[in-house]
A and B are shown apart, each in its own frame.
Chain A
Amino acid sequence: MTGAEVGALALLGGLLALDRVAVGQFGVSQPVVTGPLVGWLLGDPGTGLLVGGLLQLLYAGALPVGASIPPDETTAALVGTAGALVGARAAGDGVPETAIVPVGLLAGLAAGEAGRALDIWVRRANIWFAHRADAAAARGDDRAVERLALGGLVLWAVVGALSAAVLAPAAALVVGPAVTAVSAPGRTVLGGLLLAMAVVAFGSALAAMRAPRRAAIFAAAFAVGTLVIVAAARVSEPW
Chain B
Amino acid sequence: MVTPWPWRRAARRRAAEASGRAEPASAPRGTDGGRERLPAGGKRARRLPRRLRMALVLRSLLVQATWNFERMQHLGFCFAILPVLRWAHPDPRSPARGEAVRRHLEFFNTNPIMAAAILGAAGRLEADGEGTAAQTCKLSLMGSYGAIGDSFFWGALRPAAGIAGVTGGLVWTLAGLPGGAGGGALVAALVALVLFNVPALWVRAFGVAAGARLGIGVIEIVRRVGFPELTARVRGFGAAALGLAAAVLLHVAAAHVWGAAVEGAPGGAAPAPPAGVLAAGYPIVLGAVLAVATVVARGIVPTRLAWVFAAAALAAVLVV
Listed in ascending order, the chain A residues whose CB lies under 8 Å from chain B are 21-28, 30-33, 35-37, 39-40, 44-49, 52-53, 56-61, 63-67, 71, 96-98, 102, 105-106, 109, 112, 123-127, 129-130, 133-134, 137-138, 140, 142, 145-146, 148-153, 182-183, 185-193, 195-215, 217-226, 228-230, 233-234, 237, 239
A94 to chain B, nearest CB (A): 10
Question: Is B205 in the interface zone, CB < 8 Å from A?
Answer: no
Q: When A189-B313, A225-B244 are in contact, do A206 and B293 touch as well, CB less than 8 Å?
A: yes
Interface string of B80-109 (1 = CB under 8 A from A): 001001100000110001100110010001
Given the complex, which residues of B lie within 8 Å of A196, measured CB to CB?
A: 309, 313
Question: Is B75 in the interface zone, CB < 8 Å from A?
Answer: yes
CB < 8 Å: which of B68, B185, B289 contacts A126?
Answer: B68
Q: When A61-B302, A142-B82 are in contact, do A130 and B74 touch as well, CB less than 8 Å?
A: yes
Question: Is B169 in the interface zone, CB < 8 Å from A?
Answer: yes
Given the complex, which residues of A lie within 8 Å of B235, measured CB to CB?
A: 209-211, 214
CB atoms of B66 and A204 under 8 A apart: no
Question: Is B54 in the interface zone, CB < 8 Å from A?
Answer: no
CB < 8 Å: which of A46, A183, A190, A201 contacts B302?
Answer: A201
CB atoms of B193 and A26 under 8 A apart: yes
Interface string of B264-298 (1 = CB under 8 A from A): 00110000101100100010011011111111110
Q: When A36-B188, A209-B242 are in contact, do A152 and B68 touch as well, CB less than 8 Å?
A: yes
Closest to A124 in B: B69
Task: Give Cα A31 to B189, complex, Å.
Answer: 9
Question: Is B124 in the interface zone, CB < 8 Å from A?
Answer: no
Question: Is B129 in the interface zone, CB < 8 Å from A?
Answer: no
Q: Sorted from nearest, which 3 A-B pairs have the closest CB atoms?
A: A203-B292, A46-B181, A221-B243
Task: Give Cα A211 to B242, complex, Å.
Answer: 13
Listed in ascending order, the chain B residues whose CB lies under 8 Å from chain A are 61-62, 64-72, 74-76, 78-79, 82, 85-86, 92-93, 97-98, 101-102, 105, 109, 112-113, 146, 150, 154-156, 158-163, 165-166, 169-170, 173-174, 180-182, 184-186, 188-189, 192-193, 196-197, 200, 232-233, 235-236, 238-251, 253, 256, 260, 266-267, 272, 274-275, 278, 282, 285-286, 288-297, 302-303, 305-307, 309-310, 313, 316-317, 320
CB atoms of B97 and A140 under 8 A apart: yes
Return 25 A-B CB contacts under 8 Å, by A number: A25-B113, A44-B181, A46-B181, A56-B192, A61-B159, A64-B154, A98-B266, A140-B93, A145-B75, A146-B79, A149-B78, A152-B67, A186-B317, A187-B266, A203-B291, A209-B159, A215-B290, A218-B239, A219-B290, A221-B240, A222-B246, A222-B286, A223-B282, A225-B247, A226-B250
CB < 8 Å: which of B169, B184, B236, B274 contacts A209?
Answer: B236
CB atoms of B267 and A98 under 8 A apart: yes
Task: Give Cα A213 to B293, complex, Å.
Answer: 13
Closest to B61 in A: A24
B168 to chain A, nearest CB (A): 10
CB < 8 Å: which of B74, B76, B242, B306 contacts A206?
Answer: B242
CB atoms of A220 and B66 under 8 A apart: no
CB atoms of A56 and B165 under 8 A apart: yes
Given the complex, which residues of A lie within 8 Å of B245, measured CB to CB?
A: 202
Task: Give Cα A237 to B101, complex, Å.
Answer: 70
Given the complex, which residues of B lie within 8 Å of A63, measured CB to CB?
A: 150, 154-155
Closest to B181 in A: A46
Task: Give Cα A214 to B165, complex, Å.
Answer: 19
